[in-house]
């Protein structure tokens, strides 16, 4: 079941799928930004650098991705992880991406209130349905200040 | 730079420095990643939000740490790469990346996998990001 994008997505929710094309020029641009001259990130058979899949968001049409429901001013990116299940995505590959809410939980804030956590995985499949890679982000909504709305 | 040191538990990579970082580097990463949060390139907005200036994206530092790690253990060998964001990074900062092999295990498919601890430290001594990664290794 896909979740309407305006509602905060609960644990287990899965987004609609979107296409991502792994482009040689984008890999080159990304490698330049990460100050890498590694030849593996160049040429027709360039592979993706470990954090390159962050660019998948640029391929998502409006309204496809899950809604976290956290207040933007209190939102922190706590952790980010990339897992590769085989050969790395390579220039020319077409991937199918979808988001999944892996976990949601809360902890008391150090100064009162509640901190809310969400672990969101973006799963990348080949057109044949094979799981190629996963990106896992842990997002934190810090506790609201006393008396603040 | 690829190390020629043997891949054993406790082996450390030659540290690598990045910087002094410039706003242009943040802008370049914004374009490459598609993260257009203005806190990383618009000084007026960054100051209005209470920051002393624009600051680097955590994922920018992650990408630099990934450059360090993949130059060390091979870009094609990476199986997992994870980071935890800890301290903000500012224009002028010099980052030092370090890495150490913390484990070498045999995966279910019979290949050897090295687990590494990674750190990206500011010139102040504060840790900007810490991370762990796994790389397939041919011989350990």
User: Can you list the domains of chain B with their CATH numbers?
Assistant: 11-21+58-137 (3.10.129.10)
Nearest to B28 by CA among A31, A52, A135, A25: A31
- From the CB of residue B19, how many other CB atoms can be counted at a distance below 10 Å? 18
Q: Looking at the predicted structure, is the pLDDT value of residue A78 above 50? A: yes
A54 and B67: CB-CB below 8 Å? no
- Contact at CB, A54 and B69, closer than 8 angstroms: no
Asked if A82's CB is within 8 angstroms of B82's CB, the reply is: yes
To the nearest whole number, what is the mean pLDDT of chain A?
93
Write down the pLDDT at residue B139: 63
For each of chain B's 140 residues, which pLDDT tens digit applies? Answer: 455 567 899 999 999 999 999 999 999 999 999 999 999 999 999 999 999 999 999 999 999 999 999 999 999 999 999 999 999 999 999 999 999 999 999 988 888 999 999 999 999 999 999 999 999 998 64
The answer to whether residue A83 scores a pLDDT higher than 60 is yes
Establish if A18 touches chain B: CB-CB under 8 angstroms. Answer: no
**A81 in reach of chain B (CB within 8 A):** yes
pLDDT of residue A110 exceeding 90, the answer is no
Confidence of residue A5 (pLDDT cuts 50, 70, 90): low
**DSSP alpha helix (H) spans, chain A:** 24-33
Provide the CATH number for the domain formed by A13-141 in this structure.
3.10.129.10
Residue A54: its chain B contacts at CB < 8 A? 33-35, 59
Query: Is the C-alpha dihedral spanning B64, B68, B74, B78 positive or negative?
Result: negative
Q: Does ipTM surpass 0.90 in this model?
A: yes
**Between chains, do A26 and B63 touch, taking CB under 8 Å as contact?**
no
What is the distance in angstroms between the Cα of A108 and the nearest Cα belonging to chain B? 20
- Buried-state track B52-89, b at ≥16 Cβ within 10 A, e below 16: eebbbbbbbbbbbbbbbbbbbbbbebbbbbbbbbbbbb
Question: What are the structural domain ranges in chain A?
Answer: 13-141
- Are B82 and A38 an interchain contact pair (Cβ–Cβ within 8 Å)? no
| B30, closest residue in chain A (CA to CA) | A33
The Cβ of residue B7 has, within 10 Å, a number of other Cβ atoms equal to 18
Indicate the pTM of the whole model. Answer: 0.94
- pLDDT of B138: 81
């Amino acid at each position: 079941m896909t979740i309407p994008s305006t509602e905060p997505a609960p644990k287990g929710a899965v987004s609609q799928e979107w296409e991502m094309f792994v482009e040689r020029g984008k890999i080159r641009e990304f490698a330049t930004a990460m100050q890498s001259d590694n030849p593996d990130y160049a040429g027709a058979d360039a592979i993706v650098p470990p954090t390159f899949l962050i660019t998948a968001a640029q391929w998502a049409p409006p309204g496809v991705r899950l809604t976290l429901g956290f207040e933007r001013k209190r939102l922190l990116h706590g952790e980010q992880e990339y897992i590769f299940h085989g050969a790395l995505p390579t220039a020319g590959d077409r991937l199918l991406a979808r988001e999944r809410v892996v976990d949601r939980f809360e902890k008391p804030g150090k100064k009162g209130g509640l901190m809310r956590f969400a672990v969101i995985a973006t799963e990348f499949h080949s057109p044949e349905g094979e799981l190629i890679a996963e990106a896992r982000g842990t997002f934190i909504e810090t506790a609201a200040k006393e008396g603040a709305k | 730079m690829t190390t020629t040191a043997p891949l054993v538990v406790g082996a450390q990579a030659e540290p690598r420095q990045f910087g002094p970082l410039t706003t242009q580097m943040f802008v370049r990463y914004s374009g490459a990643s598609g993260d257009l949060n203005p806190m990383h390139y618009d000084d007026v907005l960054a100051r209005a939000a209470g920051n002393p200036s624009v600051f680097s994206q955590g994922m920018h530092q992650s990408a630099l740490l990934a450059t360090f790690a993949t130059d060390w253990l091979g870009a094609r060998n990476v199986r997992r790469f994870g980071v935890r964001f800890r301290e903000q990074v500012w224009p002028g900062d010099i980052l030092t990346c370090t890495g150490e092999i913390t484990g070498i295990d045999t995966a279910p498919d019979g290949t050897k996998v090295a687990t590494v601890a990674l750190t990206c430290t500011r010139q102040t001594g504060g840790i900007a990001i810490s991370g762990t990664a796994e790389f397939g290794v041919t011989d350990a």
